[in-house]
A and B are shown apart, each in its own frame.
Chain A
Amino acid sequence: MSLYTRSGRPRPQGSGLELAIWYLMRLSGVALFVLALAHFSIMHFLFDPANQTAEWIASQRWNSLLWRSFDWLLLMAVLFHSFMGVRTVVGDYVKGGNRTVAMSALYLVALALFAIGTIVVMNLPVPGKA
């Protein structure tokens, strides 16, 4: 493959983890084109942030399994895509021992966000429902 621009990361050679991540970045990218743009449009164009209180999210926005599933899928796609993206950036600019520290911190933050995001979207009670 000699035909490419440097707008995107070139497809890694071989068939290892890096190639899998390369494909998953594109797969999650297409998913986010739908999920993230829909989420942003709903929360900013259909509704107004000024009205999106904690009570509104609990009783209206997260009143159905559909929107909780939607938001959890968005969380999974965005955590993978954004943290793997920043991993590429860190790999480009940070070298040696600092890279190990930065990558470890990155994975720890990703894990923490995976945990707290999943907990709140799955466990937040809907007022009036058991």
Chain B
Amino acid sequence: MLLRYRGSEGMLAWAFHRISGVAIWLFVVLHVVDIYLVGGDPKAYDTILKIYASLPGRVMETLLGAALLYHALNGLRIIAMDFWPALTVYHRQLWYASWVLFVAVGLPGAFLILKPAFGL
């Protein structure tokens, strides 16, 4: 049985994986440079930190966390199907299961990241 792209869950899972992956890569480039400044120019680092800790910064961190969590869960799904091909029959169910975990972990996580911006 060959499961091909038919514009359904498999294609969305692939597109989200690619988009979240490129987004995380962009942040990694930024993050290694900003951490280098901890040694190279601590004052500049502390200035950048104020942006990270602001409300727009926290919204971006929440989106980063969402990209990371989706990419991690869907990545495990891909690895599981690569090494246990029989699971591929359930690729759709596995994708929905990863979204259940995404919401269950992501909502409390988003609250923890955003709450200091609202004085909580």
Contact = CB atoms under 8 A, between A and B. Distances in A.
In the complex, which range does the number of interface residues on chain B fall in?
Answer: 35 or more
Contact of A4 (B3, B53, B75): B3
Interface in B3-60: 3-5, 10-11, 13-14, 17-18, 21-22, 24-25, 28-29, 32-33, 35-40, 42-43, 45-46, 49, 52-53, 57-58
Contact of B72 (A11, A36, A48): A36
Nearest to B109: A45
Contacts, number: 135
A54 B17 CA distance: 33
Contact of A33 (B45, B57, B75): B75
Contact of A29 (B29, B65, B79): B79
Contact of B116 (A1, A50, A85, A117): A50
Specify the main secondary structure of chain B where it touches its partner.
helix
A37 interface: yes
